[in-house]
Amino acid sequence: MKKKREPKLPKTKKLDAYIEGAGIVEQKNIVDTLEENYMPYAMSVIVSRALPEIDGFKPAHRKLLYTMYTMGLLKGDRTKSANIVGQTMKLNPHGDQAIYATMVRLARGNGALLHPYIDSKGNFGKAYSRDMSYAASRYTEAKLDSICAELFTDIDKDAVDFMPNYDNTLTEPVLFPVRFPSVLVNNNIGIAVSMASNICSFNLREICDTTIAMMKDPEHDVSSTLQGPDFPGGGFIVYDEEEMQKVYKTGRGSIVVRGKYTFDKESRCIEVTEIPPTTTVEAIMDKVLELVKLGKVNEISDIRDETDLSGLKLTFDLKKGKDPDEFMRKMFRLTPLQDAFSCNFNILIAGNPRVMGVYEILQEWIDFRMECVKRMIYFELGKKKEKLHLLLGLKKILLDIDKAIKIIRETDEEAEVVPNLMIGFGIDEVQADYVAEIKLRHINREYILKRTDEIDNLKNEIADMEETLESPRKIKKLIIEELTEISEKYGQPRRTLFAQAFDDEDEEEEEKIPDYTVNCFLTAEGYFKRITAASLRMSGEQKLKEGDEMIFEQELSGKTELLFFTDKFQVYKSCVNDFADTKASLMGDYVPAKLEMEQGERIIRMITTEDYSGHIILFFKNGKCAKVPLSSFETKTKRKKLANAYYDGSELIAMYKLPEDTEFILQSAAGKILIFNSALVLPKAARDTQGVQVMRLTKTELASALPYSEGMIEEPDRFLSKTIPSAGAMSDLDINQITFE
């Protein structure tokens, strides 16, 4: 009889049969989950990946350079980069692409470092170019640059700790025993979790001189020996004494760097040969082309990237009659040809991230280097003491060499040779073993006398080392000698020079467009029109999108600033001159697209100002009112977007520009009306302040708020309050229906 076939179970049921507890959702505290899963990752990124340590290197840099050192690439010929990358993978598990990208940045060919650590051959890209990609590792070659000798000195003499690699088959140094403050000599950028590091480079000679001066006098004024950062790409630092001191003392601050250019009168070409370290040639060209399209730059007929093997060159063809210096000042204002390097000297000290100024970093490095020198001396001291101990045993044998030979010859078993020598001469096992291993040719008196003559020298050296270990002054003297030697050997002239700020550095850009009055319109859908008076007189009806309506109409100057407040609690800043003249028959510019607002973000109000005087007053559904100075929205830079533009804890009912205090009339959804003077509300500098309670509400909400003018309602004294908060008084009037004659 045919066996009956069992029905096939659905796949999910089969899984449930084999996986115990499958499909059960376990609730867990999100704080516990973050601590168990996210925090270990975050700490790993901070401590073991993104931030440099006091030797100036991140783990990825250290693994690469140490691998090259063990490959013997400090001397000799270059080898293929692919070979180096492959060997580095024994220490670095993050893959060949990540290792090679690290290698590229350290290479001389890339030009990212003031003192490159890798001597390269082939195409390693350029730090000043965004689009110039580096060649694959199989095509390029590399070896360690000569300055790397200063990174590895005494590394084999216990100067630093070693740790096992990721699979416990090799060991690698925890830090390099660097002989100079490399942490400040080469720039370093790192982005960790919730923190970052951005260290600029300083001139090697100046850093060495400053370190020496600090070792001699801890109260030394750093600015007297350290002029300022020295960037690999050169350029000019726009010197600001206050900001520079801030960087030196706190490790934070902004260094403004300006490009370098020359002007050829015959060809009327401006050639830019040095740019700030924070930008690229392509970024500058993109910005200039954008300005040309907007009509803000019309002084040039062409722009070319003429970079070649001789170096960077960005060329502008200047039109006749245009002043080159005036044009470049405009470029410095409007393009990344002048940019700011934001310093954030965040360094790992004993595994803990710390933001430190130059003073503190150099002091930490001095302490670190002193510890390295001490450890090296301890190591050498131990070796010399061991050698002295052996020679003292050899000296005792010198008293009767024949006796030693006799003991060895008359000993029947090899294992008894050392014990018999110990008994015969009163020496320990180590000394006896050393004597027993002396070659037959070396048991002559001359050899032994030469060896024992070293005893006095060893004793003097040991005494000198012990004295050095007990004297911080002597250790500092050794370090000072090292720094002086390195400064003379590797020092080079400054690449980045200094310039003064222009007189109009902080002034707003002077537009070439005439500053005439125009009629400005804004619709509820976000369309903005700028129409001249003549064009408006000849125009017919305003063209609007279906369902759209006009919410703003006013005559404004071309320099008037426009503040667009949105429903995402943000404000976008623009200027009337940023918009081109148009006609009433056109819809105008769509502001959300022009100002690159977020998807779905909607304009709720536009405020205009020329000098940021006065206040903005805001009314919220919960009955609160905030008065914020317009100056709170002013920025020194040309930032177009400001977050947290107003309070987000309650729905915004109304917003008005307030040149001076005046009276407002409020109405609640329950029908109560309140009239009060805005002088009762004190201004708060914070843009997102929640303000103060103006209308006391019970189980209702604020419905509307309007500026009050005499004659708007009958018996206004019944609703007027001289104190806030106030509940107001009942009325059948709907203030939204009031019409103004």
What is the set of active-site residues? 139
Number of residues that make up the chain: 741
Distance CA 82, CA 32 (A): 44
Distance CA 171, CA 169 (A): 7
Distance CA 56, CA 183 (A): 4
- Of residues 686, 619, 602, 615, the one with CA closest to residue 654: 619
Q: Which residues of 689-719 are buried (b: 16+ CB within 10 A; e: fewer)?
A: bbbbebbebeeebbbbbbebeeebbeeeeeb
228 within 8 A of 243, measured Cβ to Cβ: no
Which residues, at least 6 apart from 157, have a Cβ–Cβ distance to it below 8 Å?
Answer: 375, 376, 379, 380
Dihedral sign from CA coordinates of 354, 358, 364, 368: positive
Tally Cβ neighbours within 10 Å of residue 359: 19
Dihedral sign from CA coordinates of 545, 546, 550, 555: positive
Report helix angle 454-469 to 358-398, nearest 10.
150
Distance CA 651, CA 702 (A): 10
CB under 8 A, 24+ apart: contacts of 457-463: 458/384, 458/387, 458/388, 458/391, 459/388, 461/384, 462/381, 462/384, 462/385, 462/388
Distance CA 338, CA 502 (A): 12
Distance CA 121, CA 126 (A): 13
* Adjacent-strand bridge partners of 555: 519
Q: Phi and psi (nearest 5°) for 232?
A: -60, -35
Torsion of CA 673, 678, 682, 686, to 10 degrees: 90
Q: What is the DSSP string of 393-407?
A: HHHHHHTTHHHHHHH
Cα 312-316-320 angle, rounded to 5 deg:
155
Could you give the maximum distance between any two Cα atoms of the chain, in Å? 134
**Pairing between β-strand 497-499 and β-strand 236-238 as defined by DSSP bridges:** parallel
- Mapping DSSP onto H, E and C, the string for 701-714 reads CEEEEEECCCCCCC
- Of residues 483, 229, 194, the one with CA closest to residue 358: 229
Dihedral sign from CA coordinates of 621, 626, 631, 637: negative
Can you read off the two tokens belonging to residue 32?
Answer: 């516990």
Report helix angle 81-88 to 59-70, nearest 10.
110
Q: Phi and psi (nearest 5°) for 357?
A: -80, 175
* Adjacent-strand bridge partners of 618: 626, 655
Distances (CA, A) of 475 to 177, 370, 378: 15, 7, 12
